[in-house]
Structures are given as C-alpha cells and as structure tokens.
C-alpha cells in the first residue's frame, strides 16, 4: 500500500472505543484521512512520500477547543479585574474598535497559537466570520465558525435581525469547505429575546447547521431569567426548540439537576471552559456530573480576553486538579477523562465524532505529536498522566490537520508568525490609545483607570 505520510516510533494514544495505546506504534495517512493506526506492524509494506520519526513521543488525536473567540488576541490582558467587564467595558470597546481587519489580524495569531500547541480544531464565536475563516484556512486550522447574533449593535450588525441575515449568508458562503464549517453562534439567552432565538432555531432547521451559545455562565443570568420567565436558561432554550440538534452550550456553570436531565434528554452538549471560568471567579461547571449523565463534554479555552491562553494542552492539568479539589478526592477527574474531553469527547460534543477525535482508520488525519525527551516528562509510566500533568505546549513537535503538517517545533508552516505578532501588537497599540492607556511597552504595568468612558 502507498500512503502520503507515515508516523513511526511513537506511542499511539488512539482514544478509540477501547482506549487502545500502541507502544512503539505507527499511523499512516493518505490524503486527508488516517488509513492505518496501531502497532508498528500496521504499516508493514506501506511506503510513503513523507515519514516522521516520533522518537518515542506520544502520537495523539489533535486537540479540539470546543469554545473560543480566537480573533480576540489583541484584547488579551486588557481591562483585567474591572467590574462587569463584559457589558461595561468589552462590548462598548468592541463596538468602537472592531472591524474586519482587526478580526483577521487577531484570528491569524490566535490560529497560530493553537496549531503550534497541538490544537487541530476550534469552535469559534465572534463577528466577521468570513475574516476568521480566512485566517483559519491560511494557518491550516480546522474551525467551526459562527456569526455572533445579539439584541444590541455589534461590530458587524446593527441588531439581531441584521445578525441573523448575515448568519444566513455566512452559512451558504463557506459551505463544503475543507477546513471551515459554518455554524450559528447566537450570543446567549440573556442577550437575545424569544423572537430572535426562535429565528435562530428556524434557520438551524432550514440549514441543518449546528448551534453554539454561552449558557448559564453567570449567576445573574440564571436569576434574571428565573425572575422574567420562571425558567432556568437551559429550560428556556429547551422550550424554544434548542434540543435535538447539535447544540454546544458553553460554560454551564450554574446548572441544576433538572437542567442536566433536560440536557441529557435533549442531546445538548457542553463546552467546559474551566480555566477561564476560575480566572474570572465565576465558578466551575459540574463536568463530572454532566459526563455521568451521558452528556458529551468538550474542553474550551474561551477567548484570549477571558482565559488569556487559548492552547488546550496547557489547561489539561488544571481541569483535573480543580475537579479533584472541588470534590476533595484525588480521583474525581482521572487524567484519561481529561484527555477524552480534549479529543473524542469534544468531537462528540461538536457532532463530529464520526470524523474527528481518535486515531482510527477512516477518520480525518488531525494528529499531534508530543515529545517525551525533556526532563519534566521522565519517566513515562502512563500516557494520560504524562499528557495531563507534565506535558506543556513547548513539547508539541508536530501538528497535522486534514493530512497536512501545519506546525513543527513551535513554528507554523503556512503563516508568517513574526508578521502575525506585529499585526496584533499594532492592533493592541490602537486599543491602548483608545482607552487612554500608554502603548503596552511603556505602560509600566498600569491598570486601566476605572473611570474610562466605556464604564457606564
Ligand atoms: Zn465565550
């Protein structure tokens, strides 16, 4: 048999139904697909134009980031610690400053940040989806990209009706693309009224596309809706028809047992953004409980303004440690469960488990290779433990998306990283000037004064 690429001499962490790990195994890729994955013998007699010696590293399914806003890299570190940062600072600043060029510049860097860290797929919500799609395509990152829809004016739409029209166009424009899957990303149940939410369900019905939304992220969100409707956000969305389709609910921190039952029954899935959530002091979603109820849970980083880092690999350890801390139990969240939420569990959550999330013949060739030759990775007893508690993004040797090598040893192969960094620094300087902050290099670490015009 002839293949395009063979990866040899790695420990293949397949994440298949049996969680098979093949010590000294191999993976063969032809075109965009895995054609063989298993012990070294699976590639006997196979020749390929390109070979990678994994040198005893871990060959894993590419990591899936189930919730992000990767165009927001220019906002990283801005307005930290401000009260009600989202509504009083972020949204007004975005309305003033975000345009298609800023979105694309931010998204190119965000996509680079992910692929060099072994992330091969992202679910992303923001404005200007076409510019984020261009960025993902350029860098070589697989992306489910949604158009933000809100009751209020956003950078690309004056109101939700315009946002919905834009979304409809967006779904058609990039349909069938190799890497980009258009989806719907209405903002949240608190930022949209019933008429808008019903319009989104109707568009999802007409197009068959997936939906993602922030759900039960804030305690006040649940309280507001309970006062208005007597319903939790999950029950409200279920009543409006968001069940029985691919619906990725991001956050789900404030969900009760009834919500969990509704989500399990209605097939809703969850993007668990634990690191961003603990940073903001919001709380921790009950990921273990959601999983035990049969709900598909994937890990998300949230945007670079929320979680700062948008690499999934660097967050795995925290996900386990905080779950264990919350439960006062050192086995509450086993490392294998965390890897599952970053790979095949996330693939289930985003409705793509038939093509993503594990290293098996027939699946898309989205693969990361993690080196194990550095001091902090010694010795190697259990691949999941080493991946979750020891590996860092600097250990990512290679990232392959759709059968194509897109990053090697921290360097993107299809995008200009210095130019992307310069682009985001320039955008950052414009943001700093707008909020009255000296340019970043000269700020001396000053916090933004709390009385800027963005704070109402
Ligand atoms: Zn978010």
121 part of a folded domain: yes
200 and 323, same structural domain? yes
227 and 373, same structural domain? no
**Cα-to-centroid distance, 408 and ligand 1 (Å):** 29
CATH at residue 53: 2.30.40.10
316 and 240, same structural domain? yes
pLDDT in tens, 88-102: 888 889 999 999 999
**Cα-to-centroid distance, 49 and ligand 1 (Å):** 41
Give the pLDDT mean for 243-255.
97
156 and 208, same structural domain? yes
67 and 54, same structural domain? no
Beta bridge partners of 185: 148
372 and 335, same structural domain? no
**Cα-to-centroid distance, 75 and ligand 1 (Å):** 14
A 10 A CB-CB count for 174 gives 18
305 and 337, same structural domain? yes
- By the 8 A CB rule, do 293 and 258 touch? no
**Cα-to-centroid distance, 52 and ligand 1 (Å):** 36
Domain count, the chain: 2
383 and 284, same structural domain? no
In total, the chain counts a number of residues equal to: 456
3-state DSSP call for residue 243?
coil
Range of the domain at 372: 2-61+359-411
**Cα-to-centroid distance, 213 and ligand 1 (Å):** 8
pLDDT in tens, 159-183: 999 999 999 999 998 989 999 999 9
Sequence-ordered list of residues with C-beta below 8 angstroms from that of 155, at least 6 positions apart, any chain: 94, 95, 98, 99, 103, 127, 128
**Cα-to-centroid distance, 24 and ligand 1 (Å):** 39
Q: Which position has the higher pLDDT, 445 or 320?
A: 320
Token pair for 252: 């789900």
Owner of token pair 């039952």: 261
CATH at residue 155: 3.20.20.140
72 and 55, same structural domain? no
**Cα-to-centroid distance, 365 and ligand 1 (Å):** 28
pLDDT in tens, 184-225: 999 999 999 999 999 999 999 999 999 999 999 999 998 988
57 and 67, same structural domain? no
Token pair for 89: 């600072």
**Cα-to-centroid distance, 58 and ligand 1 (Å):** 30
**Cα-to-centroid distance, 44 and ligand 1 (Å):** 46
| Residue 455 pLDDT level (bands cut at 50, 70, 90) | very low
Q: Which position has the higher pLDDT, 229 or 301?
A: 301
Q: b/e string for 430-446 if b means 16 or more Cβ within 10 A?
A: ebbeebebeeeeeeeee
**Cα-to-centroid distance, 273 and ligand 1 (Å):** 8
């Amino acid at each position: 048999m002839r293949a395009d690429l063979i990866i040899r001499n790695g420990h293949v962490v397949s994440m298949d139904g049996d969680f098979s790990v093949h010590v000294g195994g191999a993976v063969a890729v032809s075109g965009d697909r895995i054609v063989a994955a298993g012990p070294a013998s699976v590639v006997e007699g196979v020749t390929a134009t390109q070979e990678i010696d994994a040198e005893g590293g871990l060959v894993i399914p590419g990591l899936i980031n189930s919730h992000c806003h990767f165009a927001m890299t220019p906002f990283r570190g801005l307005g930290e610690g401000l009260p009600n940062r989202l509504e009083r600072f972020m949204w007004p600043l975005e309305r003033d400053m975000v345009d298609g060029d800023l979105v694309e510049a931010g998204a190119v860097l965000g996509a680079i940040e992910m692929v060099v860290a072994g992330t091969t797929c992202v679910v992303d919500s923001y404005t200007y989806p076409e510019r984020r799609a261009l960025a993902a395509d350029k860098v070589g990152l697989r992306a489910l990209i949604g158009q933000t829809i809100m009751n209020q004016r956003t950078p690309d739409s004056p109101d939700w009706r315009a946002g919905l029209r834009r979304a409809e166009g967006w779904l058609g424009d990039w349909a069938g693309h190799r890497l980009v899957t258009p989806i719907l990303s209405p903002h949240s149940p608190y930022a949209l009224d019933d008429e808008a939410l019903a319009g989104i369900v109707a568009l999802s019905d007409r197009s068959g596309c997936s939906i993602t939304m922030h759900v039960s992220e804030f305690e006040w969100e649940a309280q507001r809706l309970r006062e208005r409707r007597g319903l939790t956000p999950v029950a409200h969305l279920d009543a409006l028809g968001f069940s029985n389709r691919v619906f990725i609910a991001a956050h789900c921190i404030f969900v009760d047992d009834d919500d969990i039952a509704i989500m399990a029954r209605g097939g809703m899935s969850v993007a668990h953004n634990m690191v961003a959530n603990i940073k903001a002091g919001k709380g921790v979603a009950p990921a273990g409980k959601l999983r035990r109820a049969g709900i598909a849970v994937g890990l998300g980083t949230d945007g670079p303004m929320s979680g700062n880092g948008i690499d999934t690999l660097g967050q795995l350890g925290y996900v386990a440690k905080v779950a264990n801390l919350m439960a006062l139990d050192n086995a509450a969240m086993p490392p294998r469960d965390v890897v599952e939420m970053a790979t095949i569990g996330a693939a289930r959550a985003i409705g793509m488990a038939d093509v993503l999330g594990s290293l098996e013949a027939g699946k898309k060739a989205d693969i990361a290779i993690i080196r194990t030759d550095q001091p902090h990775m010694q010795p190697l007893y259990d691949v999941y433990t080493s991946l979750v508690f020891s590996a860092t993004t600097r250990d990512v040797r290679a990232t392959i998306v759709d059968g194509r090598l897109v990053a090697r040893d921290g360097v993107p192969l299809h995008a200009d990283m210095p130019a992307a960094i310069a682009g985001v620094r320039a955008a950052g300087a414009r943001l700093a000037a707008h909020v009255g902050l000296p340019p970043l290099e000269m700020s001396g670490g000053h916090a933004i004064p709390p009385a800027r015009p963005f704070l109402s």
